[in-house]
């Protein structure tokens, strides 16, 4: 989250980067507004001329001038809008590209602690809210402001006193707006959230319809849905209450300046300070000001919401990017863990002093009950988190000191969590190894047992993800494993990488993977004991400590927890 | 259309009030130009200060009365819309909750979201027509009378000219909408890609490739920029036309009015009023055009809502109302020949995952089949009774958003103590312990925030808490580590003691605890016995469940031949 000063700086920066365009837009809009102002002024002239008994010829000339002004205004509006639109588009493009660049540089630990949900909101809702603001809302507000300023200015030109009188009515609008804006942001956010919740309630009930039927949850779902409807109704009433105060105050004030100018003009017409036509023109200007005022008040709440989103988008850039690490190059591939302790923020130690050495080419299986700290250990080994105490090093260098790109080239971590990116199957593989040929990709897919790829309609060009071909969890995980094959790291850390697959597919995948990982260091967190059986050594992790360590046969012979487990497994 | 009429009929007083206030408000819009014209004619030009003060006072008062009418109209119409929204949402919530398993088969994914979000709103928006729509027509008539009294010629010109002008300008805006459609679509795709990258950040952190994604996003962003320029070019011309068309029309009216005034047929005040009426008339005419468009959109939306409402349960293979067996009895599936004796924990090892799911569907009557319970065909029993007494807990069993307690309390009577007992049986106490607020922790839909193994154990605890006569568990521990799986197997047995439980699984840890194991191969039961006996006597069973590496390979080879 960025503070107000930062938002202001960023807004100015947005304009400053495209200074010339911004100036052009402003000039064109002002010119268009001036042309638009000519109509009431010319009408005032007509009135004066007609009152003075002028003939039809004068009227025709002045009317023609009005037509000319309208055309000029239209042309100027066209170019002003076009320039404004281009300016807005450029600004939005810059913003969204910067957002993605910065999001990609976020350290993994920040991503995880913030929760992907929060970042997802920022990337979808906030970026597009800011986009709407820059593209649609800001131009309208700028334009309305310019028009309003010119209208008031024009009245001052007619006569300064008329101008001063015209300002009556604006203080109430200002006060009303301030009152409204203080409360509107939160109220509309609540309304949006309540609406989304109702949609969500309907969607999830529909998705889980079978479960609703199986478990007899219909009444519960109806109660939940009805509650959401009630909540939505309440939030909408709250925003309506705000509008019920704001709109009458603002709209009621529209008539005040007109009344004031007419009254003042009438009383002092005799003094000869201004003509009847000038008073009428001032009244018409003010009548005309209702348009831009209305526009501005309608959009101002959205502009405010846009600014809030802008602050959230900027917030992403304020997290320091992942440290580059020191340039030290590890000698060798030996992984060594010494006295490692680790605690998540807001928690007690998860790991209590782990000592472990993994030789290059060794296959180590880590087993243990859930909550023992297996995944945490995997993250330390992969350098995603640093131990609170003790060290984790590869080839003599602490893993967290390595350059992130370099580290990923050496040590890859695959978890249960998989993600298929929007794009072709090729896109989904290529980023792991930019230079890979189609042949290598097919080999990698075959290596992880993803034979289904040969049945795809367009082979590697088949589009995947969001709306395109939806892969099952099993297929998605196989893609994740194929990426690994292509990335070719010397050390692989598999954190229950096959747990999401159905038992048959899991076994097929594991077997194929076995051939691929030959010659690499593999650390596998496994919930199926056959993985442990095949490993060179097995580490049993219990309560954040290594309870047993040795080969499968040694551990079975030792008669500890592992042996007991193996016996019940083996039958 | 009938549906929308129903929404109107449900709130007649409110709709009537809306029409009334809407009408008065629209007519009121025409009052200001009239008052200004009187102030000019009677006050300013006649140099009559009293008359001026009177008319000016009227302008100020009218302003506030108009503001009051405006907000009352807005309030009434908001209530009309919200009433309709709540009513539609209520009907949908009730229907979607009741209709059951047939819904996902009849409704494309994402459709529920469209119906529940945009469609309800679009239908409600149509109701706006009832109030101000009526007002617009009446206001148009009133302005017509006012104008006629000033100058019939000008009146005719304005009254015909404004609708014609709106009809020309209206379609232009529609065209703009379709021009923007491509842009919005592309923008949506780009937003989806940004979200996609964000969602995959952890994968990118594990494997690399961040630079590539940043570059690719930039390229697409630039494509959208180019498309945006194109839209901007079209849009700005349309903006200009929306200035030109009314502007020229207004200029013409002023010109004609001025000529009439110059010849003395109308007063100057009346001339100014005519100018004002033109801008006032645009409001109701625009409104009617907008209303027509909303009607079209609303009809489409209403049709989609009706489509959801007309999905009805298919009764899955029968509509009988025969009562089931009074006491729990043996369950029999003729398709495979599987017999589940009453009160036992029966393991079923199925060679094909798809067949395992189909078996569960038949035993729980989610698919047509000939399964019987105590000799009574399930298809002949009342569906409600089947659902209440036989529970199939499958892989995709849905977890709704809510606290853990709400998720697990599927019986009203379940106490926290019972919940903890079930959690213990499912070996899921540590899952809840690790959550920041224990049972009161809020989980999102599908419980995406916890791991697959944790989700699976929460689902198992929920199934146990339902306490059905027959519980059919399909692969309940496939994502759980061996330590925990062994514990679940032991506890499950005592938790379901005396009641019928079917365990469809190939895990030796689970099958080892079963009273009886049936081996289903190629869709038929080929062997029945204790786990240990089958391991010894049935080599293909051993290949399926015992996960020794060497035997496994044999099975794979044979499996290869069979396929």
Tell me: the pLDDT tens digits for A241-255? 999 999 899 888 888
Task: Give the span between the Cα atoms of A138 and A305, in whole angstroms.
Answer: 12
Contact call for residues B49 and A267 (beta carbons, < 8 A): yes
Task: Give the span between the Cα atoms of A170 and A256, in whole angstroms.
Answer: 9
What count of other Cβ atoms lies within 10 Å of the Cβ of residue A32? Answer: 26
The answer to whether residue A193 is domain-embedded is no
The answer to whether residue A132 is domain-embedded is yes
In what order do the strands lie in the sheet containing B524-529?
B390-393, B470-474, B500-504, B345-350, B516-521, B524-529
Number of helical H runs and strand E runs in chain B: 22, 12
Contact call for residues A474 and B354 (beta carbons, < 8 A): no
Same domain, A289 and A437: no
Q: At what angle do helices A19-51 and B268-309 cross, to 10 degrees?
A: 130
| Chains A & B: contacts with CB separation below 8 Å | 503
State the sign of the Cα–Cα–Cα–Cα dihedral A376, A378, A380, A382: negative
Give the one of B208, B272, B556 whose C-beta lies nearest to A432's C-beta: B208
* Distance between B295 CA and the closest CA of chain A, angstroms: 23
The answer to whether residue A34 is domain-embedded is yes
Element (H, E) at A326: none
HSE-CB of B33 using CA atoms within 13 angstroms: 21
Structure tokens at A547: 């309870």
Tens of pLDDT, residue by residue, chain B (563 residues): 788 888 888 888 888 888 888 888 888 877 888 888 888 888 888 888 888 889 989 988 998 898 999 899 899 989 999 999 999 999 999 999 988 888 877 776 567 777 877 788 888 888 877 777 777 888 888 888 888 887 888 888 888 887 787 777 667 766 666 667 778 788 878 887 887 888 788 778 777 777 888 888 999 999 989 988 888 888 888 778 877 877 888 888 888 888 888 887 888 888 888 877 777 777 777 777 778 778 888 888 898 889 889 888 876 656 677 888 888 889 999 999 999 999 999 999 998 888 888 999 999 988 888 899 998 998 888 888 899 999 999 877 889 988 999 999 888 788 999 999 999 999 999 889 888 888 998 888 878 777 778 889 999 999 999 999 999 999 898 878 888 888 899 999 999 999 999 999 988 889 999 999 999 999 999 999 999 999 889 999 988 887 554 444 433 333 333 32
Check CB contact of A13 with chain B, cutoff 8 Å: no
Contact A370 B239 (CB under 8 A): no
Taking the mean position of all CA atoms in its chain, how far away is CA A451? 36
Task: Give the span between the Cα atoms of A456 and A476, in whole angstroms.
Answer: 14
* Distance between B145 CA and the closest CA of chain A, angstroms: 23
Surface of A (483-522) touching B: CB under 8 A: 483-484, 487, 496, 499-500, 502-504, 507-508, 511
Taking only the tens place, the pLDDT of each residue in A340-359 is: 898 876 567 888 889 999 99
* Distance between B181 CA and the closest CA of chain A, angstroms: 15
Domain range spanning residue A412? 335-570
DSSP label of B469: S
Task: Give the span between the Cα atoms of B431 and A369, in whole angstroms.
Answer: 12
Number of helical H runs and strand E runs in chain A: 21, 12
Write down the domain spans for chain B.
Answer: 1-151+284-311, 154-265, 331-397+467-562
Check CB contact of A55 with chain B, cutoff 8 Å: yes
**Burial of A357 from C-beta contacts in 10 A (0-12 / 13-18 / 19+):** exposed
Q: Please give the CATH architecture assigned to the domain spanning B331-397+467-562.
A: 3-Layer(aba) Sandwich (3.40)
Task: Give the span between the Cα atoms of A232 and A229, in whole angstroms.
Answer: 5
Task: Give the span between the Cα atoms of B6 and A406, in whole angstroms.
Answer: 66
Same domain, A286 and A425: no
Nearest CA in chain A to B227: A89
Same domain, A379 and A513: yes
Task: Give the span between the Cα atoms of A497 and A480, in whole angstroms.
Answer: 9
The answer to whether residue A183 is domain-embedded is no
Contact call for residues B92 and B3 (beta carbons, < 8 A): no
Same domain, A129 and A63: yes
Give the three-class secondary structure for B337. coil
Check CB contact of A253 with chain B, cutoff 8 Å: yes
Q: Chain A partners of B232 at a C-beta cutoff of 8 Å? A: 81-82, 85-86, 89
- Say how many domains are in chain A: 2
Which CATH number covers residue A433?
3.40.50.300
Same domain, A287 and A361: no
Dihedral-angle region of residue A430 (phi above 0 means left; psi in -120 to 50 means alpha; beta otherwise) = alpha
Contact call for residues A407 and A381 (beta carbons, < 8 A): no
Q: Chain B partners of A408 at a C-beta cutoff of 8 Å? A: 205-208
Same domain, A309 and A407: no
Contact call for residues A184 and A242 (beta carbons, < 8 A): yes
Surface of A (194-223) touching B: CB under 8 A: 195, 198-222
Same domain, A355 and A479: yes
The pTM of the full predicted model, rounded to 2 decimals, is 0.77
Task: Give the span between the Cα atoms of B475 and B468, in whole angstroms.
Answer: 18
Structure tokens at A469: 């071909």
Q: Chain A partners of B259 at a C-beta cutoff of 8 Å? A: 56, 59-60
Same domain, A388 and A292: no
Which CATH number covers residue A49?
1.20.1560.10
Contact call for residues A548 and A558 (beta carbons, < 8 A): yes
Same domain, A516 and A445: yes
DSSP label of A133: I
The answer to whether residue A182 is domain-embedded is no
Same domain, A561 and A454: yes
Contact B228 A66 (CB under 8 A): no
Planar angle of CA A493, A496, A500, nearest 5 degrees: 135
Task: Give the span between the Cα atoms of B181 and A143, in whole angstroms.
Answer: 25
Contact B100 A218 (CB under 8 A): yes
Q: Chain B partners of A41 at a C-beta cutoff of 8 Å? A: none
Q: What is the ipTM of this complex?
A: 0.82
Same domain, A312 and A339: no
Nearest CA in chain A to B43: A266
Contact B486 A568 (CB under 8 A): yes
Check CB contact of A469 with chain B, cutoff 8 Å: no
Taking only the tens place, the pLDDT of each residue in B451-507 is: 778 889 999 999 999 999 999 999 898 878 888 888 899 999 999 999 999 999 988
Same domain, A397 and A300: no
State the sign of the Cα–Cα–Cα–Cα dihedral A540, A542, A548, A554: negative
Give the one of B195, B248, B430 whose C-beta lies nearest to A371's C-beta: B430
Task: Give the span between the Cα atoms of A154 and A33, in whole angstroms.
Answer: 11
Q: Which residues are CB-neighbours of B259 under 8 A, at least 6 positions away?
A: A56, A59, A60
The answer to whether residue A253 is domain-embedded is no
Residue carrying structure tokens 């005034």: B261
């Amino acid at each position: 989250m960025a503070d107000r000063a930062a938002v202001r700086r960023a807004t100015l920066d947005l304009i400053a980067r495209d200074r010339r365009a911004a100036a052009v837009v402003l000039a064109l809009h002002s010119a268009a507004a001036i042309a638009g102002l000519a109509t009431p002024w010319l009408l005032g002239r007509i009135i004066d001329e007609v009152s003075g008994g002028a003939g039809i010829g004068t009227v025709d000339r002045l009317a023609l001038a009005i037509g000319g002004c309208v055309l000029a205004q239209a042309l100027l509006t066209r170019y002003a809008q076009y320039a404004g639109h281009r300016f807005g588009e450029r600004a939005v493009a810059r913003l969204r590209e910067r957002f993605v660049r910065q999001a990609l540089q976020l350290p993994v630990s920040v991503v995880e602690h913030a929760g992907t949900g929060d970042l997802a909101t920022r990337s979808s809702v906030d970026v597009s809210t800011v986009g709407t603001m820059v593209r649609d809302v800001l131009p309208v507000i700028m334009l309305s402001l310019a028009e309003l300023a010119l209208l008031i200015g024009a009245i001052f030109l007619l006569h300064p006193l008329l101008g001063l009188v015209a300002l009556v009515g604006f203080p109430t609008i200002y006060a009303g707006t301030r009152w409204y804006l203080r409360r509107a942001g939160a109220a509309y956010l609540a309304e949006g959230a309540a609406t989304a919740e109702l949609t969500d309630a309907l969607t999830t009930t529909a998705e889980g319809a079978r479960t609703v039927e199986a478990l007899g949850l219909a009444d519960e779902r109806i109660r939940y849905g009805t509650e959401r409807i009630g909540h939505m109704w309440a939030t909408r009433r709250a925003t309506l209450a705000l509008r019920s105060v704001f709109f009458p105050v603002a709209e009621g004030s529209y008539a005040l300046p007109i009344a004031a100018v007419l009254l003042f003009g009438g009383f002092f017409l005799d003094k000869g300070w201004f003509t009847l036509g000038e008073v009428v023109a001032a009244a018409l200007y003010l009548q005309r000001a209702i348009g831009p005022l209305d526009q501005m008040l309608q959009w101002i709440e959205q502009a405010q919401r846009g600014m809030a989103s802008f602050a959230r988008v900027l917030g992403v850039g304020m997290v320091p990017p992942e440290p580059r690490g020191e340039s030290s190059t590890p000698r060798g591939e030996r992984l060594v863990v010494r006295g490692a302790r680790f605690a998540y923020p807001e928690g007690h130690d998860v790991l209590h002093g782990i000592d472990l050495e993994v030789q290059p080419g060794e296959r180590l299986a880590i087993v243990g009950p859930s909550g023992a700290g297996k995944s945490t250990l995997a993250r330390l080994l992969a350098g995603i988190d640093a131990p609170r105490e003790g060290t984790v090093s590869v080839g003599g260098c602490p893993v967290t000191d390595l350059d992130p790109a370099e580290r990923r080239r050496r040590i890859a971590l695959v978890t249960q969590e998989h993600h298929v990116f929007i794009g072709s199957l090729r896109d989904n593989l290529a980023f792991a190894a930019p230079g890979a040929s189609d042949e290598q990709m097919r080999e990698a897919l075959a290596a992880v047992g993803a034979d289904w790829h040969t049945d795809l309609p367009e082979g590697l060009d088949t589009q995947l993800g969001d709306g395109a071909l939806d892969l099952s969890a099993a297929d998605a995980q196989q893609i994740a494993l194929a990426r690994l094959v292509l990335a070719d790291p010397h050390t692989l850390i598999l954190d229950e990488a096959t747990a999401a697959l159905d038992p048959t597919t899991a076994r097929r995948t594991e077997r194929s993977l076995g051939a691929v990982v030959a010659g690499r260091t593999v650390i596998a967190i496994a919930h199926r004991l056959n993985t442990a059986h095949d490993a060179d050594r097995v580490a049993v992790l219990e309560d954040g400590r290594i309870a047993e360590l040795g080969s499968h046969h040694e551990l079975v012979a030792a008669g500890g927890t592992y042996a007991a487990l193996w016996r019940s497994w083996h039958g | 259309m009938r549906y929308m009429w129903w929404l109107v009929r449900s709130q007649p007083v409110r709709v009537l009030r809306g029409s009334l206030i809407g009408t008065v408000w629209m007519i009121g819009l025409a009052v200001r130009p009239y008052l200004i014209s009187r102030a000019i004619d009677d006050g300013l030009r006649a140099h009559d200060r009293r008359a001026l003060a009177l008319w000016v006072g009227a302008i100020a008062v009218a302003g506030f009365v108009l503001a009051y009418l405006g907000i009352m109209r807005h309030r009434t119409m908001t209530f009309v819309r919200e009433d309709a929204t709540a009513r539609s949402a209520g009907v949908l919530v009730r229907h979607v909750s009741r209709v059951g398993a047939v819904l996902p088969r009849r409704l494309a994914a994402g459709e529920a979201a469209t119906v529940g979000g945009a469609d309800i709103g679009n239908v409600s928006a149509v109701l706006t027509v009832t109030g101000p729509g009526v007002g617009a027509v009446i206001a148009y008539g009133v302005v017509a009378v006012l104008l006629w009294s000033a100058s019939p010629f000008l009146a005719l010109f304005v009254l015909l000219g404004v609708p014609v002008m709106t009809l020309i300008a209206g379609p232009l805006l529609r065209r703009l909408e379709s021009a923007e459609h491509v842009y919005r679509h592309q923008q949506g795709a780009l937003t989806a890609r940004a979200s996609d990258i964000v969602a995959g950040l952890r994968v990118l952190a594990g494997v690399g490739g961040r630079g590539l994604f940043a570059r690719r996003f930039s390229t697409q962003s630039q494509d959208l920029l180019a498309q945006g320029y194109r839209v901007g070019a079209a849009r700005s011309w349309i903006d200009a036309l929306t200035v030109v068309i009314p502007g020229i029309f207004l200029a013409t009216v002023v010109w004609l009015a001025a000529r009439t005034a110059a010849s003395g047929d109308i007063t100057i005040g009346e001339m100014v009023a005519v100018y004002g009426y033109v801008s006032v008339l645009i409001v109701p005419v625009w409104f009617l055009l907008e209303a027509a468009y909303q009607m079209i959109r609303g009809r489409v939306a209403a049709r989609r809502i009706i489509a959801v409402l007309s999905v009805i349960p298919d009764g899955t293979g029968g509509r009988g109302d025969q009562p089931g067996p009074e006491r729990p009895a043996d369950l029999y599936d003729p398709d495979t020949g599987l017999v589940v004796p009453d009160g036992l924990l029966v393991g079923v090892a199925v060679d094909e995952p798809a067949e395992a799911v189909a078996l569960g569907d038949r035993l729980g009557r989610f698919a047509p089949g000939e399964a019987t319970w105590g000799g009574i065909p399930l298809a002949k029993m009342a569906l409600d009774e089947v659902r209440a007494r036989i529970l199939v807990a499958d892989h995709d069993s849905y977890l709704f958003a809510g606290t853990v307690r709400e998720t697990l309390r599927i019986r009203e009577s379940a106490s926290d103590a019972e919940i903890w007992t079930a959690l213990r049986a499912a070996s899921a106490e540590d899952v809840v312990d690790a959550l920041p607020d224990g049972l009161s922790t809020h989980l999102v839909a599908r419980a995406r925030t916890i791991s697959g193994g944790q989700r699976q154990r929460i689902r198992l605890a929920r199934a146990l808490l339902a306490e059905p006569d027959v519980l059919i568990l399909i692969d309940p521990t496939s994502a759980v580590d061996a330590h925990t799986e062994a514990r679940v197997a032991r506890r499950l047995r005592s938790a379901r003691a005396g009641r019928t439980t079917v365990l469809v699984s190939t895990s030796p840890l689970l099958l080892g605890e079963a009273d009886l194991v049936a081996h289903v191969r190629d869709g038929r039961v080929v062997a029945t016995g204790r786990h240990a006996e089958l391991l010894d006597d049935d080599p293909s069973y051993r290949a399926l469940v015992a996960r020794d590496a060497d035997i496994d390979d044999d099975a794979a080879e044979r499996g290869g031949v069979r396929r």
